Chains A and B, each alone.
Chain A
Amino acid sequence: MTGKATLATRKKTSVWKLARRRWQLYLFMVIPVTWLIIFHYVPMVGVQIAFRNFMPRKGIWGSDWVGLTHFKTFFNSFYFARTVGNTVRLSLYYLLANFPLSITFALMLNIVVNKKLKKAFQTITYMPHFISTVVLVGMLTQILNPVTGLYGNLYRRFIADTYPADILSRATPFVHLYVWSGIWQNLGWNTIIYMAALSGVDPELHEAAEIDGATRLKRVIHIDLPVLLPTASIMLILNSGSIMSVGFEKAYLMQNSVNAVYSEIIATYVYKTGLGGTTNQLSYAAAVGLFNNVINGILLLIVNGVSGKLSGGQNSLF
């Protein structure tokens, strides 16, 4: 009992001592911590409007408390299954397609010997990342127009006399368009973190393997890939924490009455009911958004737990 207590006090004092000795470092931390508190923790007080009938004039604390009413309405609503389903479908698809692709792409880039070629590849693949979503969707609409767009003109020149089907006014292609345009846009950018990890590989390992007669592919599998694994699992955990928060802008911009079956996600629904529509159901929208975040949190904990178990506690966040 006493031993434990002394241990704790000793630990405490040592942290405190450490902080006093390295106070400059801690001073640096004050700014981001303040930022975090002001912009991320203080606004959480406002989450309570999900449990109230929020009236701006009455304020957050003055609005009537209605408990779980808004959550019940959402769970019973027609849009519950649809928005949750679409959100999960879109982000799982994106994650499953994007995750292995960016690792493969990083490995491929890594074995390019010519330095200039490598840099050129990297820069070219980064570039689309800087195109704004609005512009990207605008490009998609114009290129894919079956009458006036590139797609329509190529089709009529090389395939048939008639106009091709309008891809944007079909429901099913939406998911693929969404995911693959996203991958086109972000593949290069997503490889950055893996490239950084790969640059940390000890060249001696490669030299030794080469002497032992390992082929280039063998070296990738046995040296590069294991080096990437910890980074990859951390990335997977972080990504799964945001599975339910698919980018709002793109889905909203690409939405039309035909693809709404697949494109109505939680974020667009929250926007429409809360701010964009004619209803201004702020509390309801807040409840839907809160539900979304709670699921995100749970997913993060699950994946983190599983990853920690599998790697014996090595590859997990906490």
Chain B
Amino acid sequence: MRKILSMVLSLLLVLSLCAGTALAASDKLNEPGVIPVAKEPVHLQVGTRQIATVTDYDDNHLTNYLREKTGVDIEVFLFDNSEYKTQLQLMTTSGERLPDTMWNINLNGIERESYGVQGYLVDLLPYFQAHELTYYFDGEAASYLTDAEKEMTLTAGLSSNGALYAFPFWAVSVADPWSDGLLINNTFCEALNMEIPTTIDEYYDYLVAVKTQDPNGNGLADEIPLVGFAKSSNGDIITNLLNSFLYYPATWDGVALCADDDGKIYLPYQQEAFKDGIRFIAKCYAEGLISDLSFSQDRYGLQAMTDVTGDAPDIVGSAMSHRSYMFASHASAERRTHYTSIGPLVGPEGVNYVSTYAVEPNYINFITSDCEEPDVAFAVLDFMTSTESTLTARYGREGEYWRKPTDEERARGCSWADVAANIGYTEPLYITGSTPDYPMKLAWGQETNEIWNITCITWQPQGFTALTPAASPESYASETAKYNTEDWNGGIRARFGKAPKNLVGTLAYTADEQAMLGTLATDIGTYVRETMTRFVTGEMDIDADWESFQTNLEMLGVSTVIDCAQAAWDRAHS
């Protein structure tokens, strides 16, 4: 009996393999793993947002690289970088033909499902389940994922109807979720004879000292104790400081959904600890310790204050920022060494969270229903998950922008050894920065014709970004570069993992829930951001106006938002 069963099973297996190859070898495509991917030059229109630093999309190295490796005749269709959603909306509304595949079109879960259900996007789940066109995705790419990440790669992108309307890509470095925080001016600390603060009380004393004791020694009270910037969680003083009192996720005007350890959804601005935090920040503001520019300027405003040249004295005592936003060239700016990245400040009750977010793949690359060769488009996306394509798309061509490590570098191990060990790697795979005997070019963030300057077409899960060689003292181009890298890594290590167990990521709402939610999330997010700022600037009082704040939140429909989120959370975690 068992023999027959196993024979039947193996027969089925063989048959299914045959079926698989029969399908995969669809007349347009080569065998999996063979370069070029497509047999004949299929025409594929790729829609993407026009990034200002990319000088030419058509004759771009990455475009040509993909043409060569995939054998597909790629034509680039450019969306406006900021108005792309409106553009897409207008294109669909007016019945215009969409590009075959769209990359870096940042639709959120609701929009994705909305376009998908209306039939504009192809459901890609069957492709992933068939495992026929997923040579790189199932092979190389999967080897950089932890088991948990493997599991969520597809599931976290599912819409409420069970469809997967986007091709998932990972682009999260180890540092990304922990990269926002305070930078303290260490020259001021020295002048003031103070240690770098670690608790909220020490920090307060530092701010007062910066304001009153003229740490830059120019005889003028021109020091700004604390400044950040607005319209982005990267420079947001309020939510970052609140994390010494209670967890508040990184968001500028989102609803800021949180989940406790039992998976119960709550909102931070309905908690008692929120009041304590706001009281502290409002006190600092009232005493002139926080620059009010933090609520109106953008990051270039902050940069104008910190990235001063010549003999001009520092004026900023501490900045709330992503470290790379404070200086135009953050790796080589000498003045960058005046600032020390610190971890979250310990609050009066011992709370020290980092304002962060749930790490998830991005679901912003699509194949549209207008695509006549969805198999080919899918195979191209699959190829892009390969390591070589990833490095070429992220850095540029091999040898000039990235290279394989030397034996000596390999022997040093990985830069984030523990993260690499989690996925079973001990040796580094690639190196990107310049070393004294091996200069390397940098395309990222520059005016370039080498790459597209986007990460969503690269396969860089956290584990992958850990696979660069650990630094040795000789590997830095200069002392400044050494300081900046070490300070950066120090800041990340001080913040790493300081978040609650459950973080609320993207939730897939059903059509009914979406109808109930409507504009609630936008309305609440905007209102909360505005009210927090007014609490801090003293236009409203956290104690006197608390009740009306809560009443307004109820009016705006917070309970509906919490209920829908709870339902969606429970569906995903059952």
Complex Cα–Cα for A58 and B120 (A) = 12
Docked Cα-Cα span, A146 to B315, in Å, equals 13
Bound form: Cα–Cα A281–B517 in Å: 11
- Chain B residues with Cβ below 8 Å from A148 are 301, 304-305
Given contacts A57-B119, A257-B533, contact A276 B86 (CB under 8 A): yes
Residues of A within 8 A of B297 (CB): 141, 145
B319 → chain A closest CB, angstroms: 13
Q: Given the known A-B contacts A163-B291, A257-B533, are A78 and B221 also in contact in the complex, defined by CB atoms under 8 Å?
A: no
A145 in contact with B293 given A78-B556, A256-B230, A284-B519 (CB within 8 Å):
yes
Judge if B114 is at the interface, Cβ distance under 8 Å. Answer: yes
CB of B105 to closest CB in A, whole Å: 13
Cβ of A214 within 8 Å of any chain B Cβ, yes or no, is no
CB distance B555 to A256 under 8 Å?
no
Majority secondary structure of chain A interface residues (helix, strand, loop or mixed)? loop
* Cβ proximity bits B283-322 to A, threshold 8 Å, 1 near / 0 not: 0000010011111110001001100000000010000000
Q: Which residues of chain A are within 8 angstroms of B253 by Cβ–Cβ distance?
A: 257
Whole-angstrom distance between the alpha carbons of A141 and B85 in the complex? Answer: 27
Contacts of A109 in B (CB 8 A): none
- Is B220 within 8 A of A161, CB to CB? yes
Set of chain B residues within 8 Å of A165, measured between Cβ atoms: 292
Do the beta carbons of B296 and A161 come within 8 Å of each other?
A: no
Q: Determine whether B526 belongs to the interface, using a CB cutoff of 8 Å to chain A.
A: yes
Q: With an 8 A cutoff between CB atoms, is B530 at the interface?
A: yes
Residues from chain A with Cβ under 8 Å of B230 in the complex = 169, 256-257
Structural contact, B293 and A166, CB atoms closer than 8 A:
yes
Interface residues of A in 264-317 (CB under 8 A from B): 264, 272-273, 275-282, 284
A170 to B532: give the CA distance in the assembly, Å.
14
- Determine if B526 and A260 form an interchain contact, defined as CB atoms under 8 angstroms apart: yes
Contact, CB under 8 Å: B519 / A279: yes
Cβ–Cβ contact B522 & A278, under 8 A: yes
The one of A58, A79, A161, A169 that contacts B523, using a Cβ cutoff of 8 Å: A79
Do residues A147 and B295 form an inter-chain contact, with CB atoms below 8 A? no
Is B108 located at the chain interface by the 8 A CB criterion? Answer: yes
Counting CB contacts under 8 A, is A175 at the interface? no
Please encode chain A, from 166 to 194, with 1 for each CB lying within 8 Å of some chain B CB and 0 for all others.
10111100000000000000000000000
Specify which chain A residues have a CB less than 8 angstroms from the CB of B404 in the assembled complex.
Answer: none
Which residue of chain B has its CB nearest to the CB of A59? B95
- Interface residue from A147, A161, A170, A279 paired with B521 (Cβ < 8 Å): A279
Q: With a CB–CB cut-off of 8 A, which chain B residues contact A166? A: 291-293, 295-296
The complex places the Cα of A170 from the Cα of B533 at a distance, in Å, of 10
Chain B residues with Cβ below 8 Å from A3 are none
Q: Which residue of A lies closest to B294 (CB)?
A: A169
CA distance A46 to B220 in the complex (A): 62
A73-B518, A162-B221 given; A256·B539 CB < 8 A: no
- CB pair A281 B519 closer than 8 Å: yes
Chain A residues with CB under 8 A of B92: 56-57
- Taking CB as reference atom, which chain B residue is nearest A74? B519
A166 to B304, CA, bound (A): 16
For B, the interface residue count at a CB cutoff of 8 angstroms equals 48
A169 to chain B: closest CB distance in Å?
Answer: 4
Q: How far is the CA of A166 from the CA of B293 in the complex (A)?
A: 6
Chain A residues closer than 8 Å to B93, beta-carbon distance: 56
For the side of the interface on A, what is the size category? Answer: 35 or more
A58 to B54, CA, bound (A): 37
Residue in B111, B301, B523 whose beta carbon sits within 8 Å of that of A280 in the complex = B111
Within 8 A of B (CB), among A120-143: 141
Q: Say which residue of A73, A146, A276, A280 sits within 8 Å of B293 (CB atoms).
A: A146
A265 to chain B, nearest CB (A): 14
**Bound Cα distance from A78 to B304, whole angstroms:** 38
**CA–CA, A141 and B295, complex, Å:** 13
Q: Is B222 an interface residue (CB 8 A)?
A: yes
Task: List the count of A-B residue pairs having beta carbons below 8 Å apart.
Answer: 117
With a cutoff of 8 Å between Cβ atoms, the chain A residues found around residue B519 in the complex are 77, 273, 277, 279, 281, 284
By a CB distance below 8 angstroms, the chain A residues around B555 are: 78
Q: With a CB–CB cut-off of 8 A, which chain B residues contact A56?
A: 89, 92-93, 118
A225 contacts the other chain (Cβ, under 8 Å)?
no
CB neighbours (8 Å) of A198 from chain B are none
- Alpha-carbon gap, A160 to B222, bound state (A): 11
**B305 is contacted by which of A79, A147, A156 (Cβ under 8 Å)?**
A147
Q: Quick check: is B527 within 8 A (CB to CB) of the other chain?
A: yes
Chain A residues within 8 Å of B114, by CB: 280
Query: Of all chain B residues, which has the CB nearest A260?
Result: B530
Chain A residues near B294 (CB-CB < 8 A): 169
| Residue of chain A at shortest CB distance from B305 | A147
Cβ of A55 within 8 Å of any chain B Cβ, yes or no, is: yes
- Which residues of chain B are within 8 angstroms of A276 by Cβ–Cβ distance? 86
1/0 per residue, CB under 8 A from B, across A193-221: the answer is 00000000000000000000000000000
Contacts of B120 in A (CB 8 A): 57
From residue A272, how far is it (CB to closest CB) to chain B in Å? 6
Distance (Å) between the CB of A60 and the closest chain B CB? 9
The verdict on B415 contacting chain A, using a C-beta distance below 8 Å, is no
B residues less than 8 Å from A281 (CB atoms): 518-519
How distant is the Cα of A36 from the Cα of B392 in the complex, in angstroms? 54
- Given known A-B contacts A73-B518, A277-B519, A163 and B304 have beta carbons under 8 A apart: no
Query: Does residue B16 face the partner (Cβ distance < 8 Å to A)?
Result: no
Please determine whether B292 and A279 come into contact, CB atoms closer than 8 angstroms: no
Instruction: Please report which residues of chain B, range 501-524, place their CB below 8 angstroms from some CB of chain A when the two chains form the complex.
Output: 518-519, 521-523
Q: Which residues of A contact B111 (CB under 8 A)?
A: 278, 280
B224 lies within 8 A of chain A by Cβ:
yes
Closest to B514 in A: A279
Is A258 engaged at the interface, CB distance under 8 Å to the other chain?
A: yes
Q: How far is the CB of B379 from chain A (nearest CB, A)?
A: 28
| A261 on interface, CB distance cutoff 8 Å | yes
Name the contact of B86 in the complex, choosing from A156, A170, A275, A279 (C-beta under 8 A): A275
Interface string of B211-250 (1 = CB under 8 A from A): 0000000001110100000110000000000000000000
Docked-complex contact A256 and B295, CB < 8 angstroms: yes
Contact B296 A168 (CB under 8 A): yes
- In the complex the two chains form, is B523's CB within 8 Å of A171's CB? no
Query: Does B264 have its Cβ within 8 Å of any Cβ on chain A?
Result: no
Chain B residues within 8 Å of A161, by CB: 220-222
Q: Mark B536-568, 1 if CB is under 8 A from A, else 0.
A: 010100000000000010011000000000000
Nearest B-chain residue to A54, judged by Cβ: B93
Report chain B residues within 8 Å CB of A55.
Answer: 118
User: CA of A162 to CA of B537 in the docked complex: distance in angstroms?
Assistant: 18
Question: CA separation between A162 and B214, bound complex, in Å?
Answer: 12
The residues of B that contact A146 with a CB separation of less than 8 Å are 292-293
Question: Shortest CB–CB separation between residue A245 and chain B, in angstroms?
Answer: 20
Q: How far is the CA of A170 from the CA of B293 in the complex (A)?
A: 10
The residue of chain A having its C-beta at the shortest distance from the C-beta of B297 within the complex is: A145
Q: Could you tell me if A163 and B537 are in contact, using CB atoms closer than 8 angstroms?
A: no
Contacts of A163 in B (CB 8 A): 222, 224, 291
Q: B224 to A77, Cβ gap below 8 A?
A: no
Residues of B within 8 A of A141 (CB): 296-297
Nearest-Cβ distance from residue A141 to partner chain B, whole angstroms: 8
Q: Known: A166-B293, A256-B295, A278-B108. Is A273-B534 also a contact (CB below 8 A)?
A: no
Residues of A within 8 A of B534 (CB): 171, 258, 261
For the complex of A and B, list the 10 residue pairs with the smallest distance between their C-beta atoms, beginning with the closest: A169-B296, A166-B292, A169-B295, A57-B118, A168-B296, A56-B93, A169-B292, A260-B530, A257-B533, A277-B522
Residues of A near any B CB (own CB < 8 A): 55-58, 73, 77-79, 141, 145-148, 156, 161-163, 165-166, 168-171, 256-258, 260-261, 264, 272-273, 275-282, 284
9 A-B residue pairs with Cβ-Cβ distance under 8 Å, sorted by A, are A56-B118, A57-B120, A78-B527, A161-B220, A162-B222, A166-B291, A257-B533, A277-B519, A281-B519
A56-B89, A161-B220, A275-B89 given; 15 more Cβ-contact pairs under 8 Å: A56-B93, A57-B118, A57-B120, A78-B555, A145-B301, A147-B224, A161-B221, A166-B291, A170-B292, A171-B539, A261-B534, A273-B519, A276-B86, A278-B108, A284-B519
